[in-house]
Structure 1
Amino acid sequence: MTDLSHERVPYTGLIEEKVDSQELFKGHFLQAFRDTVRLPSSALAKREYVVHPGAVMVIPLLEGDDGQVQMVLERQFRYPIGQVMIEFPAGKLDPGEDCFHCAQRELLEETGYSATHWAHAGVLHPVIAYSTEFIDIWFARGLSAGSQKLDEGEFLDVFTANMTQLLQWCAQGQVTDGKTLTGALWLQNVLSGAWSLEWQEVSIA
């Protein structure tokens, strides 16, 4: 195995330079492009990709009196693959919206919950081969139940599960959504104490 521990600088020799760009499609919130790029070898190549506005995912934690932690999850039909998926609450950024506000908004709209404590975990790039999409990952606790504010045409089944159940679903292939699999990994490490979070208290309007 190659030892890369000494590498501490960007791999500038791998960067591709955009020479030309052609818009192929412009939809409601997605755009597709075909770019001409110059490779590190100086040869030219084509790159087709989708521009996405970015999104957030929230891992909402319900802490019981017995100390057991439950996660708030959703079931949602995803048309492109024709399946009902188990997912953490998530949604795309509105134009000009910051990620934290989006996380608060999506949690309330999709689940009806508001949270008093929030922690930013990190960023996920789910489809680096053909999309600019990033997903900002947030944890939320101190949950208060309220009413959902779903978009027109949006249908969700909100439910709770514990860590054992979630990991079992991941192992059995019942959870195949990439962001939720990443969320499960992050949560497992947080609950074990291997990874830390910096929690901040936020007042609920």
Structure 2
Amino acid sequence: MLKVWRDRVTLPDGGQSWREYVKHPGAVVVAAVLPDGSLVFERQFRYPLHRSFLELPAGKIDPGEDILACAIRELREETGYEAAHWEYLGVMHACIGYSDERIEMFLATDLTHVGHCWDEGEFLEILQFQPEDARAAVLDGRITDSKTITTLFHVLPRLGG
């Protein structure tokens, strides 16, 4: 999934240096809004930090996969929801100092629950937060995931959060 590269670069002053960075295939994140206005979240254990995090549904883009198709797939697999309406919100770059990863952000509305189909080894707790509760969770440190915070920045003003 990830590849680490090391490039020799010429600096603005003409000097030489090395730059290491991670190449990533990209990902999507989905702000899924239920009919009552609440947002779908998941609590997921993240091994690198050895703890669980509150996040919006998200996942890696497969080679050659369209970003909207990826968002539709990830929302369905992880939460069991399908959306009748999709809106592209933009792109974010979470780790510009050491990765080329881009995360494409989407808003999904008019949801229908059809049942999840988690990947092997994936264990998620699906939660719902009202917009004001999601905002409070960012401000009090319960949500620290950058893709989730950035996406909430785009959608909370629309939802009254």
Output the aligned Cα RMSD: 0.9
> 1:189 offset after TM fit, Å?
2.7
**Which protein has the larger Cα radius of gyration, Structure 1 or Structure 2?**
1
Instruction: Find the counterpart in structure 1 of residue 29 from structure 2.
Output: 57
Instruction: Find the counterpart in structure 1 of residue 134 from structure 2.
Output: 166
C-alpha distance in 2 between matches for 1:50 and 1:86: 24
Instruction: Find the counterpart in structure 2 of residue 139 from structure 1.
Output: 107
Structure with more relative contact order (C-alpha pairs < 8 Å, separation 6 or more): 2
Q: Letter of the aligned partner of 1:92 in structure 2?
A: K
Instruction: Find the counterpart in structure 2 of residue 78 from structure 1.
Output: 46
Q: Normalized against structure 1, the TM-score is what? A: 0.76
* Structural mapping, 1:108-187, within 5 Å: 108-187=76-155
More helix by share: 2
What is the percentage of aligned positions where both structures have the same residue?
44
C-alpha distance in 2 between matches for 1:191 and 1:152: 34
Q: Report Cα offsets for 1:51-93 as digits up to 9, x if no partner.
A: 00000000000122xxxx1000000000000111000000001
C-alpha distance in 2 between matches for 1:37 and 1:145: 50
C-alpha distance in 1 between matches for 2:27 and 2:151: 14
> 1:190 offset after TM fit, Å?
2.8
Q: In the alignment, does 2:15 pair up with 1:43?
A: yes
C-alpha distance in 1 between matches for 2:43 and 2:130: 15
**Which ranges in structure 2 are unaligned for 5 or more consecutive residues?**
none
Report the secondary structure of 1:46's partner residue. Answer: strand
Report the secondary structure of 1:41's partner residue. Answer: coil
CA contact (8 A) 2:42 2:55 kept: yes
Q: Normalized against structure 2, the TM-score is what? A: 0.96
> 1:191 offset after TM fit, Å?
3.0
Instruction: Find the counterpart in structure 1 of residue 156 from structure 2.
Output: 188
Q: Report Cα offsets for 1:30-64 as digits up to 9, x if no partner.
A: 10011101122221111000000000000000122
* Structural mapping, 1:77-116, within 5 Å: 77-116=45-84
